[in-house]
Chain A
Amino acid sequence: MKEATPTEMMTIVAARRLKNRATCFVGIGIPSMASNLARLTHAPEIVLIYESGTVGAKPTILPLSIGDGELAETADAVVSTPEIFAYWLQGGRVDIGFLGAAQVDRFANLNSTVIGDYASPKVRLPGAGGAPEIAALAKETLVIIKHSSRSLVDRVDFITSAGYLDGGDARQKAGLRGGPSAVITDLGVLVPEEGANELVVEQLHPGVSRERIQEATGWELRFSDTVSETEEPTDSELSVLRNLIARTESARAR
């Protein structure tokens, strides 16, 4: 089988982290792709919640928007927006929040609001959506982002969603539980170091050197003592993912 592309690699690595029967609050794009890959491989009973109010969605093709009909038709329940955030997320029923962002920093804070100054931004990004509360209220957060020195930065321009704030116990002191458990990129996996809560490299994807990941990161990276090479994607992971994408593309072309 043809070798995995960097995006496929990132998606497969993210999917592997999702346990069967976990309740997962999913953003659109790669988080949605990875959670559905998990559902179609090792985690058939994973519960996917989308912020459009679809609880237990089982889409056969990937949704383009967070509220596609496909999600509602395949869900166990469809609830209103106030209900999805109040009863399901805030009520403590979400194990894993799965988010993307434009920037993530060394303490895993996320920015999806602006690049530059808030009042006169260089780039106005879409904004918070459900992310601040997902990052605050899920028992654990997974972050997925393409690696570059513009996206993995020392300090985000704007904290949309809290990670570990200034590091150490700052998050706990602010009164938040949970927090990001991993930042998954197309080059490797970073995890918060115990105590300091600074992101350190735990995994490098096959063929990625320490120099290469450092070059694509906006701060001086540290590597975990147990840094390992990511296991190659299996043929089955790759074919399920590629079939899912092909199904989606052919449905969208119609």
Chain B
Amino acid sequence: MSKITSLTDAIHEYVHDGDSVALEGFTHLIPYAAGHEIMRQGRRDLALVRMTPDLIYDQMIGMGCARKLTFSWGGNPGVGSLHRFRDAVEKRWPHPLEIDERSHASMAAAYTAGAAGLPMGILRGFVGSDLPKYNPNIRFVECPFTGEKLAATPAINPDVSIIHAQKADRKGNVLLWGIVGVQKEAVLSAKRCIVTVEEIVDTLNAPPNACVLPSWVVDAVCEVPGGAFPSYSDGYYDRDNAVYIEWDSISKDRDAFSEWMKFHVMETNNFEEFRERLES
């Protein structure tokens, strides 16, 4: 079967209720279109994983898709709070959200361990911090060689990882560049993996050492131009900072949020229609 498929089919086939799901992309290349499609298809009970939940997880949490969130920084970058995330933690709306809170360095180590087939990531971290008191997923181990105390955190191995990249070729080999965050590790640590891309081309023309994910580690490749909007895609479009700023007032109020989501996401058929409604 060809790896190249529609986003609707890919989400239908590979994302199930109750799955642990990681949508990665560090400010750049955030897979918004895929997140929207998960909400449209009404997935529930997801254990969401993402270093920086960003607007997309704020939306998914507010729409009631998530039972758990593993994260390291839950704000609206440069703007302030993620109000839906806050409402879920502070007031349990729309329902309680279990949190597994770590730091960037430890999430990175946990994904790396997951990709490398190790049970845990190790780092110098969390000494003196209160986080280990509240999160049993942060513990300390002794180095058997030097006796040093090091922090350990269990590997992350999502049921499904989803990333957005710039290009794929017709066989489904994927190329991404710019700020690549933890995407390669997210893909290689996952049981299943979906990649949305700006465009599908005949040849990638990737230089040696470029960040290429061979088609055989990817389950589905979906062409979704603009699929990272309102984050950005280096070489294609810039981050739409205005959307991030406007999100602050839209998301503050439960009703305003629900209305906005209904009109822009739930009542549209795909990302293209979402963009049209947003711009109308």
Contact = CB atoms under 8 A, between A and B. Distances in A.
Interface of A: 28-29, 51-54, 63-69, 71-72, 78, 80-82, 85-86, 89-90, 109, 113, 118-133, 136-137, 158-162, 165, 171, 174-176, 252
Contacts of B27: 52, 65-68
A249 B78 CA distance: 13
Contact of B241 (A64, A89, A118, A126): A64
B149 interface: yes
Scoring B103, B149, B179, B241 by chain A CB atoms within 10 A of each residue's CB, the highest score goes to: B179
B12 interface: no
Given A81-B108, A81-B182, A90 B123 contact: yes
Interface in B74-109: 74-75, 77-79, 81-82, 85-86, 89-90, 101-105, 108-109
B81 A128 contact: no
Contacts of B134: 118-119
Given A124-B85, A176-B128, A63 B108 contact: no
Given A72-B178, A175-B127, A126 B105 contact: no
B73 A126 contact: yes
B78 A65 contact: yes
A132 B131 contact: yes
B244 A64 contact: yes
Interface in B32-74: 51-52, 71-74
A126 B79 CA distance: 11
A158 B104 contact: no
B180 A53 contact: yes
The 5 closest A-B pairs by CB, nearest first: A67-B27, A162-B128, A126-B75, A65-B77, A64-B78
A72 B27 CA distance: 11
B105 A69 contact: no
Given A52-B181, A53-B180, A66-B77, A131 B127 contact: no
B127 A162 contact: yes
A136 to B, nearest CB: 6
A80 B102 contact: no
B257 interface: no
A171 B109 contact: no
B238 interface: yes
A132 B126 CA distance: 6
Contact of A64 (B52, B77, B81, B180): B77
A128 B102 contact: yes
B28 A85 contact: no
25 contacts: A52-B179, A64-B77, A64-B79, A65-B77, A67-B28, A69-B232, A72-B179, A78-B180, A81-B26, A81-B108, A82-B112, A85-B123, A86-B105, A89-B105, A113-B130, A123-B90, A124-B89, A128-B73, A128-B101, A128-B103, A128-B129, A129-B52, A136-B128, A160-B131, A162-B128
B104 A129 contact: yes
B236 to A, nearest CB: 11
Contacts, number: 168
A180 to B, nearest CB: 12
A158 B124 CA distance: 20
B184 interface: yes
Nearest to B79: A64
Contacts of B101: 113, 127-128
A137 B181 CA distance: 21
A8 to B, nearest CB: 19
B225 interface: no
A113 B185 CA distance: 26
A53 B72 contact: no
A81 B27 CA distance: 12
A174 B182 CA distance: 30
Given A85-B109, A132-B125, 13 more contacts: A52-B28, A66-B27, A69-B178, A78-B179, A81-B51, A85-B123, A124-B81, A124-B90, A126-B82, A132-B126, A136-B124, A160-B129, A171-B128
A159 B128 contact: yes
Contact of B105 (A85, A113, A174): A85
B179 A252 contact: no
B104 A128 contact: yes
B239 interface: yes
Contacts of A122: 90
Contacts of B89: 121, 124
B245 to A, nearest CB: 8
Contacts of A119: 134
A204 B185 CA distance: 48
A80 to B, nearest CB: 5
A72 B234 contact: yes
Scoring B26, B81, B111, B130 by chain A CB atoms within 10 A of each residue's CB, the highest score goes to: B130
Contacts of A131: 103
B239 A174 contact: no
